[in-house]
Amino acid sequence: MKYLEPDASRPTWIGLANGPAVRGFHQRHPELVDYVEIPFEQIRHDAGAGAVQETLPAILHCASMSVAGFVAPTETTLAAIGREVERMRTPWIGEHLAFISADPLGSSEEAAGPTALTYTVCPQLSEDTAQRVAENLAALQARFPVPIILENSPQYFEVPGSTMPMVEFIGEVFSRCSAGLLLDLTHFQISAINMGFDAAEAVVRLPLDRVVEIHVSGLTVQSGVAWDDHASAAPDEVLALLGRVLERARPRAITFEYNWSTSVPDAVVVRQITRVRELLAS
């Protein structure tokens, strides 16, 4: 098994989200990739998904703690996450600033238990939610020996009852906790497109001093909405946002999330990673 070790000559690691293309890419370009980011849910579904750590160090990503939700994750789930934290020796856990479960709607549904989803959902952007995040995080962090860092959600629509835009919400959350930020620049760009704000202007108002990790991936505009797309390469505007952030902050890791298929050509990934390394070196 490989583990991440601090390296003074490479203060920012660059990695790939675990998917069908990772092994082959790493074999062809071993010098370009420092780690693989493995979703906890992938390993939960298929223990073999963690085997890639025999060749590459790993960081644990998670979408199961429902940090911005009102229904706590089960003890079984938290224990399983804890086992992976130990096994991987991950430096942190990247978790979504979102919810993945919620109360049942009515009394007839109550017997069936909470509503569990398979994809994280942007929460209501309000002080109530920010306070809930802080409380949830305090309880969850106590369980793990490594920090939980929070990833901004893509916003696809106005969530009813929201009282503030995304940038202010992130600021509100981070004013109530000491967590690090997993800044997903594609999610931020998607939120900007869908909610009508200028991503380049707004990104510098985020708590960039708290950035630990950055995600980049593709996006697609379909049916009038911008959507997350890990089957396509990060567009120029997302890489431009990255450049803007790197002028002001140095994350410990940058992850390219091209893990839904093998459709992003090697040459594109090589070019993007090389460009990012040049930015980091400048």
| Extended strands (E) in the chain | 13-17, 35-39, 58-62, 93-96, 99-102, 115-121, 148-151, 180-184, 211-216, 218-222, 225-229, 253-256
* Angstrom distance (rounded) from CA 17 to CA 14: 10
Residue closest to 16 by CA, chosen among 230, 236, 193: 230
By CB under 8 A, tell whether 132 contacts other proteins.
yes
**How many CB atoms are closer than 10 A to CB 74?**
13
Q: Which stretch binds other proteins (CB under 8 A): 98-106, 145-153, 243-251, 273-281?
A: 98-106
Q: Which stretch binds other proteins (CB under 8 A): 21-29, 53-61, 88-96, 122-130?
A: 122-130
Nearer to other proteins, 90 or 272 (CB): 272
Tell me if 55 sits within 8 A of 2, measured CB to CB: yes
By CB under 8 A, tell whether 39 contacts other proteins.
no
Nearer to other proteins, 109 or 247 (CB): 109
By CB under 8 A, tell whether 260 contacts other proteins.
yes
By CB under 8 A, tell whether 261 contacts other proteins.
yes
* Angstrom distance (rounded) from CA 71 to CA 65: 9
By CB under 8 A, tell whether 197 contacts other proteins.
no
User: Which residues would be at the binding site for other proteins (CB under 8 A)?
Assistant: 20, 69-70, 99, 101-106, 109, 115-119, 121, 123-124, 126, 128-129, 132, 156-164, 220-223, 225, 227-229, 231-232, 260-263, 265
